Chain A
Amino acid sequence: MRAWGVVAALIGALALVAVWAPRAVAEGPIKVGFGMALTGGVAGNGKAALLAIQIWAEEVNKKGGLLGRKVELVYYDDQSKAATVPGIYTKLLDVDKVDLVVSGYGTNLIAPALPIVIERKLTFIGLFGLAVNEQFHYPHYFGIMPAGPSPKTDWSAGFFEIAGRQNPKPRTVALVGADAEYGQNALAGARENAKRHGLQVVYDKAYPPATVDFTPIVRAIQATNPDIVFVASYPPDSAGMLRAAHEVGLKPKLFGGGMVGLQYASLQTALGLMLEGVVNYDFWVPEPTLKFPGIEDFLKKYQERAKAAGVDPLGHYVPPWAYAYLQVLGQAVEATKSLDQQKIGEYIRTHEHDTLVGKIRFAPNGEWVKSRVLMVQFQNIENNSLKQFGEPGHRVVIYPDEWKSGTLIYPYAKAKR
């Protein structure tokens, strides 16, 4: 019975806190709230994003803040776990009384926040979620990732487009990917693209995320002798797949497509020469065609602080976009001169935004109006040094033509030397 007394007292205390929770008043700084993966599986990206967001806040505050008010970041670690997300966003909104919210990193951690956002009619920009809004159809959700209006197919469109332009045209394709959210969605899109280009799918399998050795998979692919190989893998698998392909001597005419992780400096320096000739997606690379105003300053600031923060030393992949999604939000607040979520959302939906990753315009479904998934080819890789990957000429943009910065070395075996 005494134990019950303790429990009752505990719950009673909780109730009291809930009822008499202090109600904060507006004014003071503008609070921007978000959950971010600072531990767990995707923390590498989450921490890099956080650093970019902090740089944004510092720069905005140096210029006097938003609407004349300072910007304050309120963020919690979602531990890369979807189950923590609903709690975090209600805490941000109900307890911390944040004025604006943005998403954490990745589809798994964006989707659980959306019901709360929709219920309260907030404006919400997602950081690297693949086709999240397909389920919700919420007019004030926007995805900063340039995957395009139909993300799943746009993702690999460039890879298959490149293949289609070759003479003679490749006829067979092998599709392989991680058996997880991203891998399966990318594979589904690739299947459609393969069909569109009249390619025969000779291998189509997913592997579990815990796979240690990719040799058996690569052997099975090799046995089907495909012209091109599309891979939708996560960071550790990307390295495993590439190493196995290298060792087995898999040399299709085109290799790569959707390998996550080859954008990170840590994997680039680990793989070095093995990357030569791989054609893979990317969102921003240090090529002359993509020198948008502000990006170099930002990367310089980021790279100076990357080591201390324990994040990717170059920061080409997620950080510019983490900066950009707040840039869009900040610009909308300034333009509408308000914190009214409806007005901000309408503004973002209807205007073009000038950011450090280029000009952005959103489609009605919240994705980019036109895809800017780049296909880059690794070229002229010398060794494992970090420096080369920070310079132009090593990840050459092949597609889309608008941003093209070099020519494809084809087939893959030729690039491999």
Chain B
Amino acid sequence: MRGRALLAVAVALVVLAVALTRLSANQYYYFAAYVIFQYVVLATAWNILGGYTGYVNFGSAGFFALGAYTAAILIKAFPVPFPVLLLAAGTVGGLLGLSLGYLTLRLRGVFFSIATLALAVVLQTLIVNWEYAGGSRGIYTMRPATVLFFDNYVEFLFVVMLILALGALATARWIEHSRLGRGLAAIRDNEEAAECMGVPTLRLKLVAATVSGALMGIAGAPFPYYVTYMEPASTFNLDYAVNSLAMPMIGGATTWVGPLLGAVLLGTAQQIATVTISSALNLLIVGVVLVAFVILAPDGIIGLVRRRRGGRHA
């Protein structure tokens, strides 16, 4: 019943969003919302591996950029329809995620995190040295002038990202409530114990890493159209890695609502910071808030709410 109600809300949101594009010509909000939805996808994807199993991925930027570059290269090579871009970016991201999953065989904790960081650097170097992908000079992607049904491309991207965000949340929620989710939680609490109790830890980790990687790749797929000019340094920017990890932390990493809350709050705060003057000061505030949050609200906003309700989960 709850699931069905959520589905209804999701459908209602998409309808509302499409209706909105009919009503308002103010593109700014679509761009701003696009960025926030993009972070919802990234944060949710990160959380599937990082929050549910406790394997901290530092290389989110690499996954995101890989998705973006997959799309950009496809667009350059053939006139492919949009859904194919998503599919391809998801596949490439998923495959990379799978290999990351195998890495967990040997590496735990911080070692795993450092390996993901190194993975992102190696990927970036590959792109930099790949002439067809623009190399370090960057690659231009022209937006199609028209798109079916929508007035302009930005509105289309906005609705696409909303659907992706809802899809990512649905995936996370489904995992959480399935046997898979319980298995992952067991791994997070104590991997050895889970193994002894017969939880197929490797298989579960592989699934989680693949899903997480695929979602991050998909999040990057519309990026070439959004930004029109990509170069490796800004596409592989550390900010994506920081945000996709900080957002679930601020929201609360154990449930699917946490990344959503974190992404909406931090994403909105950053959007507002961008368009208010003295952004250096604003960045400082973001830093201070981040530090304050992890110190004062260790389980994120979700944790705060739960504690107030009387420690149902604590």
Contact = CB atoms under 8 A, between A and B. Distances in A.
Interface in A61-103: 75-79, 81-88, 90-91, 93-95
A10 B264 contact: yes
B157 to A, nearest CB: 10
A94 B275 CA distance: 13
B306 to A, nearest CB: 12
A334 interface: no
B194 interface: no
Interface stretch (B25-33, B50-58, B84-92): B25-33
Contacts of B271: 87
10 contacts: A10-B264, A11-B13, A12-B16, A82-B229, A83-B226, A91-B28, A93-B27, A115-B142, A135-B229, A181-B136
Given A18-B29, A21-B24, A108-B229, A82 B234 contact: yes
A87 B9 contact: no
A112 B228 contact: yes
Which secondary structure characterizes the binding site on chain B?
helix
A8 interface: yes
Given A7-B264, A76-B275, A208-B128, A90 B136 contact: no
B195 interface: no
Contacts of B239: 81
Given A4-B9, A83-B227, A11 B234 contact: no
A308 interface: no
Contact of A86 (B24, B31, B138): B31
Given A7-B264, A38-B279, A81-B239, A94 B26 contact: yes
Interface in A1-23: 1, 3-4, 7-8, 10-12, 14-15, 17-19, 21
A209 interface: yes
Interface in B217-255: 226-231, 233-234, 237, 239
Interface residues of B, number: 52
A21 to B, nearest CB: 6
B35 interface: yes
A14 B128 contact: no
A89 to B, nearest CB: 9
Nearest to B232: A180
Question: 5 shortest A-B CB distances, which residue pairs?
Answer: A111-B229, A77-B279, A90-B28, A90-B27, A87-B31
Interface string A175-210: 000011101110000000000000000000010110
Interface residues of A, number: 51
B270 to A, nearest CB: 9
B274 interface: yes
Contacts of A274: none
B32, B226, B227 interface centre (most CB from chain A within 10 Å) = B227
A266 interface: no
A184 B231 CA distance: 12
Nearest to B6: A4
B293 interface: no
A11 B16 contact: yes
Given A135-B140, A206-B136, A21 B26 contact: yes
B137 interface: yes
Interface string B66-100: 00000000000000000000000000000000000
B298 interface: no
Interface of B: 2, 5-6, 9, 13, 16, 20, 23-33, 35, 125, 128, 135-138, 140, 142-143, 152, 154, 226-231, 233-234, 237, 239, 257, 260-261, 264, 271, 274-277, 279-280, 283
Contacts of B13: 8, 11
Contacts of A401: none
B137 A185 contact: yes
A108 B138 CA distance: 9
Given A3-B257, A10-B264, A183-B136, A88 B275 contact: yes
Given A90-B154, A180-B231, 9 more contacts: A11-B16, A77-B280, A78-B274, A79-B283, A86-B154, A91-B31, A94-B28, A179-B136, A180-B233
Contact of B228 (A12, A19, A114, A185): A114
Contacts of A179: 128, 135-136
A39 interface: yes
Given A90-B28, A112-B227, A184 B136 contact: yes
Nearest to B131: A184
A297 interface: no
Contacts of B233: 180, 209
A76 B272 CA distance: 11
A109 B274 CA distance: 14
Contacts of A184: 135-137
Interface in A147-201: 179-181, 183-185
A112 B229 contact: yes
Contacts of B227: 82-83, 85-86, 112
Given A7-B260, A115-B143, A18 B136 contact: no
Nearest to B137: A184
B158 to A, nearest CB: 11
A402 interface: no
A116 B143 CA distance: 10
A86 B28 CA distance: 8
B22 to A, nearest CB: 11
Given A11-B13, A179-B128, A94 B5 contact: no
Contacts of B261: 3
Contacts of A15: 16, 20
Contacts of B237: 81, 83
